[in-house]
Amino acid sequence: MQRISHWKALTALTMTGALALTACGGAGGAKPAADKPVESLKFYNDKGGWKDAFIQVGAASKQDIGVGMEPVGYSDSNSYTAFIRSSFRTKEKADLFTWHTGKELEDLVDQKLVAETTEQWTKAIADGNVPEALKPYFTYDDKQYCVPLNAGYWVMYYNKAVFKKAGITANPKTWPELLAVADKVKAAGVKPFYQTSILFSFVWFETLLAGKDPDLYDALAAGKAKYTDPGVVEVMNDWKKLIDAGYFSDPGAKTEPQAQLKSGDVAMVNFGTWFSGSLNTLKMKAGTDYDFFVIPNVNPALTKTSMIFETGPVCSAAASEHSSTVKKWTDWWVTPQAQTAWANSRGDLSFNPKAEVKDTGLAALNKDVSGDGYRLINRWFEATPVPVANKALEVFGAFVTKPGDPMPGLQKIQAEADAYWAKQK
């Protein structure tokens, strides 16, 4: 699931103390009382920062298939969640809405509130429009619900001018090479990596754990391992060593990461590919002012590169009165034509590998990650149950601000995890 998409959305979520997702919509499931085809669909979402992109896509769908799309955005995730849940009890069910994968989607499926999209997934995969690797994140009891809204891969963005000043002529391919790059940047008077104590405080935890022991990462997300296990403690201590070495920026800084990268206050930012759009809005040019590289594994013995990714669903109410129109729109949505418009409206890549992404670096990455050399790792935000994530973010935020013995904080997270998983049995 995708709880956040870009920095401004995350800032809004910080103010509300919530964790948001993106979502996707489909058709199927419970049969509505009456099907009433319409010329335009309302798309409820918690992605206020993507309003312009949604408007562009709505215009494109109107032109291509005669069905428009009107975005209705919420900036407060608590209000949005309450609205969507209450809408199922009204006559006007949401035609399209963003939601969450994982447990929160399962809750709606259990109540038969979300339209099934199994047939759409089967066709989309057969047509090469949706990677089969995304299918498990939209599957519940062997059936699919919703369709992807987007797919973002987490890479290391860097300021090219800073790299040039530090004498860096090649991107790192191994973890020791990455640290060597950080040393050169630091010697040039620039903080190597961006870090924050709010929301994105989880980034380096997931990077280090997924790059060192992806099996442990997955087990932790599933409640089959503990935050107090030796492997997790080791990762926290590795993180502390990086902090103590002076590799990170001030975690309490209020300046947005894209501004810090542009100014050269930090050399590198570990973020999802949607970050390209944030940099583009600051008039930074891809390939000239900034670029990115795949983050190498911490553990050189791993046979595949761990690639953190995020995805979220567009969903539709099972009892929507406009189910035929919803299906027509979501069938269009997964096509290369629609995804080309969507990706380029945001300066990002698409879940559809056939989409013609203008950014050559993003386009190349999209093709590379579909190969056999990568192991997709669900982003920590999506992989972690909400109560556990809330406590962990609190602990991580304190840790990056004042690093010390990680065990007391890990014990707090595990206590929350124990309580959560006990209720799932």
- The string of pLDDT tens digits covering residues 93-111 is 899 999 988 777 888 999 9
Give the per-residue pLDDT at 6.
43
Give the per-residue pLDDT at 381.
87
How many residues are listed for the chain in this entry?
425
Average pLDDT, the chain: 90
The more confident residue out of 5 and 308 is 308
Give the per-residue pLDDT at 23.
34
| Position 94 in a domain | yes
Quick check: 209 pLDDT over 90?
yes
Give the per-residue pLDDT at 371.
78
Give the per-residue pLDDT at 12.
38
| Position 41 in a domain | yes
| Position 192 in a domain | no
Give the per-residue pLDDT at 223.
96
pLDDT grade for 18, boundaries at 50, 70 and 90: very low
Q: Which long-range contacts (CB under 8 A, 24 or more apart) does 422-425 make?
A: 424/223
Give the per-residue pLDDT at 34.
63
Q: How far is CA 250 from CA 183, 241, 254, 406, 410, in A?
A: 17, 16, 9, 19, 23
- The string of pLDDT tens digits covering residues 108-138 is 999 999 999 999 999 999 999 998 888 998 9
State the average pLDDT over residues 350-374. 89
Highest mean pLDDT among 15-29, 47-61, 186-200: 186-200
Give the per-residue pLDDT at 91.
80
How many CB atoms within 10 Å of residue 317? 28
| Position 402 in a domain | no
CB-based contact 366:347 (threshold 8 Å)? no
Quick check: 171 pLDDT over 80?
yes
State the average pLDDT over residues 45-54. 88
Quick check: 151 pLDDT over 90?
no
Q: How far is CA 239 from CA 75, 112, 173, in A?
A: 33, 43, 20
The more confident residue out of 345 and 155 is 155
Quick check: 26 pLDDT over 50?
no
- The string of pLDDT tens digits covering residues 374-392 is 999 999 988 898 899 999 9
Domain, as residue range, for 120: 7-150+310-358
Give the per-residue pLDDT at 62.
97
Q: How far is CA 89 from CA 19, 63, 83, 85, 341, in A?
A: 24, 33, 10, 8, 34
CB-based contact 379:309 (threshold 8 Å)? yes
Q: Which long-range contacts (CB under 8 A, 24 or more apart) does 49-56 make?
A: 49/5, 49/6, 49/8, 49/9, 50/5, 50/6, 50/9, 50/346, 52/345, 53/342, 53/345, 53/346, 56/341, 56/345
| Position 369 in a domain | no
Give the per-residue pLDDT at 13.
37
Quick check: 32 pLDDT over 90?
no
| Position 95 in a domain | yes
State the average pLDDT over residues 143-157. 95
Quick check: 8 pLDDT over 60?
no
Task: Report if pTM > 0.75.
Answer: yes
pLDDT grade for 265, boundaries at 50, 70 and 90: very high
Q: Determine the residue type at 153.
A: Y
State the average pLDDT over residues 58-70. 97
Q: Which long-range contacts (CB under 8 A, 24 or more apart) does 275-281 make?
A: 275/6, 275/7, 275/157, 276/157, 276/347, 276/348, 276/359, 276/362, 277/6, 277/346, 277/347, 277/348, 278/6, 278/7, 279/157, 280/347
| Position 1 in a domain | no
Give the C-alpha separation, 112 to 317, whole Å.
Answer: 9
Give the per-residue pLDDT at 77.
77
The total domain count for the chain is 1
Residue 12 sits in a domain whose CATH number is: 3.40.190.10
The more confident residue out of 336 and 425 is 336
| Position 334 in a domain | yes
Give the C-alpha separation, 146 to 119, whole Å.
Answer: 11
The mean-pLDDT minimum among 13-17, 186-190, 365-369 falls in 13-17
- State residue 142 phi and psi, 5-degree precision: 65, 15
